[in-house]
Amino acid sequence: MQRPPILGTRASPLALAQARTVAAALEAAHGWAPGFVQLRPVRTSGDRIQDRPLAEVGGKGLWTKELDQYLLGGETDLSVHSMKDVESVRPEALTIAAMLPRADVRDRLIGAASIDALSQGARVGTSSPRRTAQLLRLRPDLQVAPIRGNVATRLAKIVAGEFDATFLAAAGLDRLGIKEGCPIEPAAMLPAPAQAAIGAECRSDDEVMRPLLLAINHAPTCAAVYAERAFARAVGGSCHSPVAALAVRGADERLWLRAELLSSDGLDHVTGQVRFAPGDDAPEQMARDLLERAPPSVRMLFA
């Protein structure tokens, strides 16, 4: 590329840290000088709306809408996303061309040494339907209320006593150099589809940018995240639907996908797992199977 690529990113500290990681990977892969890739921070609707859960005002699209407009308009050459925040159905004109190696997929509990250690009736802040349902399944006595803001804002709310505890993605905390919190193993709380993966997206017809991004793509992460997103796409639902999925690639390159659908209060759930070769339609088949087996309180959230 004769000119510096322009990388679109959300303007939050975490998004900027992730964007710099992608920029550094591109610079190293192509022998560009540090700082060659230019970052263009964009304040998205999801960053501006801080008084309501995103599920009430547009869902995941609020993280990507403005970045998509810049990319499709040619003002940027690529966008960097937390894949967890990217809708499972994307515009055909855009392509997730690379994913970096996946980080820690776990959630971390902030404010207590464990879920069991939370006091009776403790107030826990989360705007995630998945985390809410999973937590109430384990501790129906807890009070769960929405919490918004970037990582620093949420941590400050715990310190100020607005909430007794909250959950944050371990990968995001690690990328910000924050060691605080108790990791929650997937056996207790399966993560959201694509959690801890960073994706780089470009225009589908950009024959210059796509091969540049392919050079930094981590195939095992890509295969696992594609499987999780295929499951999420097949199961349907909305940002109000509590869904969890995690795929892991084994030594034989087959994928092991575990998934869970829950009712909003966590009282009902249905789980499944399958092992398959990448590219197989097993994620879609498992989605259909879980929906068929799900009780009405769960199925109604994925209609």
CATH of the domain at 162: 3.40.190.10
- Chain segment 218-251, per-residue pLDDT in tens: 999 999 999 999 999 999 988 889 999 999 998 8
User: Would you call 85 a catalytic residue per the annotation?
Assistant: yes
Q: What is the CATH number of the domain that holds 261?
A: 3.30.160.40
Which range, of 57-66, 151-160, 252-261, 287-296, averages the lowest pLDDT? 57-66
Kindly state whether residues 61 and 202 are assigned to the same domain: yes
Residue type, 80: V
- pLDDT above 70 as % of the chain: 93
Q: In the 8-state DSSP scheme, what is residue 257?
A: E
Kindly state whether residues 155 and 284 are assigned to the same domain: no
Structural domain boundaries enclosing 62: 6-100+197-217
Q: Report the C-alpha gap between 77 and 58 in whole angstroms.
A: 25
Q: Report the C-alpha gap between 6 and 9 in whole angstroms.
A: 10
Q: Which helix (H) or strand (E) holds 259?
A: strand 255-262
Number of domains making up the chain: 3
**φ, ψ for residue 287 (rounded to 5)?**
-60, -45
Q: Report the C-alpha gap between 143 and 132 in whole angstroms.
A: 10
Locus of tokens 């990791």? 183
217 near 98, Cβ under 8 Å? yes
Q: Report the C-alpha gap between 240 and 53 in whole angstroms.
A: 10
In a domain, 41, yes or no: yes
Which range, of 38-52, 133-147, 157-171, averages the lowest pLDDT? 38-52
Give this prediction's pTM.
Answer: 0.92
Distance linking the first and last C-alpha atoms of the chain: 46
Q: Which distant-in-sequence residues (6+ apart) come within 8 Å of 35 by Cβ?
A: 27
In this prediction, residues 172-178 reach a mean pLDDT of 96
What pLDDT does 46 receive?
55
- Which residue intervals of 144-295 are DSSP H helices? 151-159, 170-175, 209-214, 219-235, 282-293
Out of 85, 107, 164, 206, pick the active-site residue: 85
What pLDDT does 147 receive?
93
Predicted confidence band at 58 (pLDDT cuts at 50, 70, 90)? low
In a domain, 204, yes or no: yes
In a domain, 45, yes or no: yes
Locus of tokens 């095992």? 220
